[in-house]
Structure 1
Amino acid sequence: MGDLTRRHEVVVTQRFFDEAAMAYLRDHNCNVTIAELPPGKADGDLPEAMLREWLQGAAGWIVGHARVTRDLLTALPQLKIVSRRGVGYERVDVAAIRELGRVATIAAGGNDATVADQTIGMMLALGRRFREGQAAVARGSWAIPLGTDLYRKTVGVIGLGRIGRSVVKRLSAFDCKVLVNAPRQDADLAVQLGFEYADLQTVLSQSDYLTLHAPLTPQTRFLIREETIRSMKPTAFIINTARGGLVEDRDLLQALENQRLAGAGLDVFMSESDPSYQSVTQALASLPNVIAQPHSGASTREGLDRTNMIAARCVVDVLHGVDPPRECIVADGRAVRTA
């Protein structure tokens, strides 16, 4: 156990960090500083020099989308824990975390329901053409855009982590046929949740709705591109609430413009990591059959309250010398620190 009386400095570089999570940190001997982010900017948009200045003297950092680099960690020798208020960690140099004796965690389990709800919402909005219907009414037109059901459709799910499983559970209420493509198969889980495992080609060719819940890796980068889109029905919808980079947005835009797909629901975009795609993102968002959101899938009051508290608990655990929940740890170099 660490020193339970010593006060630790914790910096939060995220908006919407609620009072309950701050109170938890303070009650566990942490002084909390909420960084004042520039209007319209997230921590991932800020230069490393600004992050370094904010984090001087901090033992804990609750982070959003900032890049956690080896150089930044080296400049902050007192920093013990980098706690993501989220579940992705591709912007964290996990090798550097381990080698420099730090800990990196995610808020596992905090936003599963929130992102799953958004995914289902996008399916319904796309199928029923809500955006087009509202635009018609706003023009004074009562022409009805003919939609399609989610009920009893075939839904392909790529990736079966916590969010993917939450989506599958919700789809049972719509009597959908669910096809799952995942690297590991669990026959008991398939029976329990009522889905079938299938190879990628089968999922692509049979799905009326295709939803992505895979991590971004070299193997999954541009999983959805011109070649794979050609395998899909022209009446199919793609939903990506996982990671920009799973979809080659240029190919998706071309397919939608050429009516080779019925529509797309997008909460993540290539332009988040590659500014050269900004015009592509804007073009996608302007299409009437696209639901576009600003990477807000986890951002409900309830979802953020849950992830804030998990992130805060991970910080307190590490600063007090105990282990955070195993499912939250993505890199742990404490053995290196004490060797």
Structure 2
Amino acid sequence: MSDQARRTVVVTQRFFDDETVGYLNSHRCEVRLAELPPGEADGELTEGALVQMLADADGWIVGHARVTRQLLGRLPRLQVIARRGVGHERIDTGAVAELGKVATIAVGGNDACVADHALALMLALSHRLRESQMQMNAGSWAILTGADLYRKTVGIVGLGRIGRGVVQRLRGFEARILAVTGSPDEAWSRQMGVAHVELDELLASSDIVSLHAPLTRATRMLIDAAALARMKPTAILVNTARGGLVDDAALLDALQAGRLAGAGLDVFQSESDPSCMGVTNALIALPNVVATPHSGASTREGLVRTNRIAAQCVVAVLESGAPPPGCLLADGRQRAATT
């Protein structure tokens, strides 16, 4: 096999396992792992830095970098952009298709770990784990009264793969489950005991509201000051989906005013809007907020799964095949073939 027959795949994500590197190597792909500055992710790389890394790349396994029309125009050799994850609001899919390239997502790789993470946040907040440890660190062993997750009413906003995984886990707690979703599967919902309601009813009735919707024009700022005002003052908000679903400033105000009992946050507005960083810092300082740095999908097992799916997508495209089911995001190959 000649070197000319081999393709270059650049990975701009941390935690890329040796087995997946071996899989790519076995399919004539040379893998180059980007050297990221300590503590930084690829979303913080400049366009110039990305062009330098990707100039000779045939495939790109990407995390949170912005995939813009301008960037793609500077990378004529690049054929496939494989997102290691499922969120794709930072990828200009129209530009991908128009420029004759392919974009994919890693469907199914991190569903289980994000669903687990959502449950972990629910339990941590209900049992006031952060508050208790903060008191103990300060020398007080006074017992704080928490709340059960058992038989509580939990509202699920978005019943995709992760939302359904949360529902399955909540059945073990005998929770009453309400849901808002764009296209309900009535048969599945009956089997799982899910009641479909309007958002206002879900907010007013739920002890916990857990967000699992994609970020679109319709869902941006879905949970704003008015929505938060509809929730019980004893309720908890959990967001493991996207930061733009929630008005973080309104959430901070509700928590500080005692109009909401707590929040579990894995995502923040400041991830896409640095001007919101002050609000993020104020949120994570609150004792009734359990926060993580968009790490819900970052289990060892979940990363291996998403690495492998992203790699399978890259190989499929480079070998002129079809990516795994549900993974194709944008496909400009036919357009490229006719130009």
TM-score normalised by the chain length of structure 1: 0.98
CA distance in 2, matches of 1:242, 1:171: 18
Task: Give the C-alpha shift of residue 208 in structure 1.
Answer: 0.2
Counterparts in 2 of 1:295-306, with a 5 A limit? 295-306=294-305
Match of 1:193 in 2: 192
CA distance in 1, matches of 2:277, 2:197: 34
Question: Percent of counterpart pairs with the same letter?
Answer: 58
Letter in 1 for 2:93: V
CA distance in 2, matches of 1:336, 1:323: 16
Q: Deviations over 1:152-203 (max 9, x none)?
A: 0000000011100100100000000000100111110101222111111110
Match of 2:56 in 1: 57
Match of 2:327 in 1: 328
Q: Deviations over 1:276-325 (max 9, x none)?
A: 11110000000000001100010010000000000001000100110002
Q: Structure 1 stretches of 5 or more lacking a match?
A: none
Q: Deviations over 1:18-52 (max 9, x none)?
A: 00110000011000000000011110011000000
Mean Cα displacement is larger for which, 325-334 or 106-115? 325-334
Counterparts in 2 of 1:1-339, with a 5 A limit? 6-339=5-338
SS in 2 for 1:327: coil
Letter in 2 for 1:203: L
Instruction: Check conservation: 2:98, 2:332, Cα contact below 8 A.
Output: yes
Q: RMSD between aligned alpha carbons?
A: 1.0
SS in 1 for 2:245: coil
TM-score normalised by the chain length of structure 2: 0.98
CA distance in 2, matches of 1:135, 1:75: 50
Letter in 2 for 1:289: N
SS in 2 for 1:326: coil
Q: Deviations over 1:226-275 (max 9, x none)?
A: 11111110000000000011000000000000000000000000011111
Letter in 1 for 2:270: S
Q: Structure 2 stretches of 5 or more lacking a match?
A: none
| Structure 1 residue ranges (4+ consecutive) displaced by more than 2 angstroms after TM superposition | none
Letter in 2 for 1:133: S
Count residues with an aligned counterpart. Answer: 336
Instruction: Check conservation: 2:312, 2:324, Cα contact below 8 A.
Output: no
CA distance in 1, matches of 2:158, 2:146: 27
SS in 2 for 1:67: coil
Letter in 1 for 2:310: A
Task: Give the C-alpha shift of residue 135 in structure 1.
Answer: 1.4
Task: Give the C-alpha shift of residue 131 in structure 1.
Answer: 0.4
CA distance in 1, matches of 2:169, 2:325: 26
CA distance in 2, matches of 1:335, 1:178: 44
